[in-house]
Amino acid sequence: MTNHQIYTPPPPFIDRGLPECQCPADCGGRPEAMLRLAPSYPVVRDDGRMKPPEHPHAPTARGELVFDTLNQRVGAFMDRQRDLVYLRPERGGPEWEVDAKWLVRHS
């Protein structure tokens, strides 16, 4: 008879003293190791109860700062695909997407 050992897979990441995630979504990931369990920041979806601004702003230059009125956040314009605009926090971080009708010029 041979001895059978139970195979235990390695952990999904190696803990090297990295701090726990402290993002608003409390995702439990390790951002420094590029590991996330959930989106970094909660993104509000249009449920029809809020009204978009009367005069939305259409950014054109990459890096231009705009205010996302739906999510109540300032973001740097990264790209656009049809009506979706991709924004990133002004000091860097994960992108989020929002319909262009919710953007206004950042003052």
- 32: phi then psi, degrees, rounded to nearest 5: -70, -25
* pTM score, whole prediction: 0.59
CATH class entry, domain 31-43+54-105: mainly beta
Rounded CA-CA distance 13/21 in Å is: 14
What pLDDT, on the 0 to 100 scale, is given for residue 91?
A: 81
pLDDT mean across residues, the chain: 76
What pLDDT, on the 0 to 100 scale, is given for residue 30?
A: 53
Rounded CA-CA distance 76/30 in Å is: 24
Rounded CA-CA distance 22/20 in Å is: 6
Q: Over range 59-78, report the average pLDDT.
A: 92
